[in-house]
Amino acid sequence: MTNESIHVGPAQKKKLIFLVALILTIAVMNGTMFNVAIPDIQSYFGIPSSQVSWVLTSYIMVYAIGALMYGKLADFYSIKALLTFGIILFAAGATLGLFSQSFAMLLVARVLQAAGGATIPALGFVIPARFFPEDKGRVFGLISSTVAFASGVGPIVGGLLGGWLSWRYLFLFSILSLLALPFLRKWLPDEEKRSGFIDYLGAALFGAAIAGILLFVTTLQWIFLLMFIVFMAVFAVRTAKADDPFIRPSLLKNKYYTVTILTSFLGVCSMFGLLFIIPLMTRELYELSTTQIGLVIFPGAILAGFLGRTGGDLADRHGPKVVVIAALVFIAFGTMLLSGFAGVSAVAVSVVLIIAYIGFPLIQSSTANILSSVLEENETGVGIGMFNLMNFMAGAFSSAIFGAVLEIQGVTTSLNPFASGGNSAIYSNVYLALTLISLFALAMFTYTFRAFRVAPRSEKNPE
Tell me, yes or no, whether 256 and 235 share the same domain: no
Q: How far is CA 136 from the centre of its chain?
A: 18
Tell me, yes or no, whether 164 and 224 share the same domain: no
Nearest to 181 by CA among 86, 62, 290, 63: 86
Tell me, yes or no, whether 64 and 163 share the same domain: yes
Q: Read off the pLDDT of each residue in 263-277 and give the average, rounded to a whole number.
A: 87
Q: Read off the pLDDT of each residue in 272-291 and give the average, rounded to a whole number.
A: 79
- The CA distance from 84 to 81, in Å, is 5
Would residue 314 count as lying in a domain? yes
Would residue 3 count as lying in a domain? no
Q: Is the pLDDT of residue 369 over 60?
A: yes
What is the sign, positive or negative, of the torsion defined by CA atoms of 105, 108, 113, 116?
Answer: negative
Cα three-residue angle 17-144-280, rounded to 5 degrees: 140
Which of these three, 245, 271, 303, is where a domain ends?
A: 245
**pLDDT band (50, 70, 90) for residue 1:** very low
Tell me, yes or no, whether 85 and 229 share the same domain: no
Tell me, yes or no, whether 241 and 252 share the same domain: no
Which of these three, 245, 260, 277, is where a domain ends?
A: 245
* Better-predicted residue by pLDDT, 46 or 263: 263
How many of the other CB atoms lie within 10 Å of CB of 248?
A: 18
pLDDT in tens, 386-397: 888 888 788 778
Would residue 451 count as lying in a domain? yes
- Residue 233's pLDDT is what? 95
Which of these three, 245, 273, 307, is where a domain ends?
A: 245
Would residue 2 count as lying in a domain? no
- Residue 458's pLDDT is what? 45
Residue 440, burial from CB neighbour count under 10 angstroms (0-12, 13-18, 19+): middle
- Containing domain of residue 229, as a range? 199-245
pTM of the model: 0.78
Tell me, yes or no, whether 332 and 231 share the same domain: no
> What CATH number is attached to the domain comprising 190?
1.20.1250.20
- Collect all residues with Cβ–Cβ distance below 8 Å to 43 and sequence separation of at least 6: none
Tell me, yes or no, whether 294 and 359 share the same domain: yes
pLDDT in tens, 85-139: 999 999 999 999 999 889 889 999 999 998 998 888 878 878 877 787 777 667 7
Tell me, yes or no, whether 225 and 163 share the same domain: no
Domain count, the chain: 2
End-to-end CA distance of the chain: 28
Contact 143, 125 (CB under 8 A): yes
Where would I find the beta strands (DSSP E) of 59-104?
none
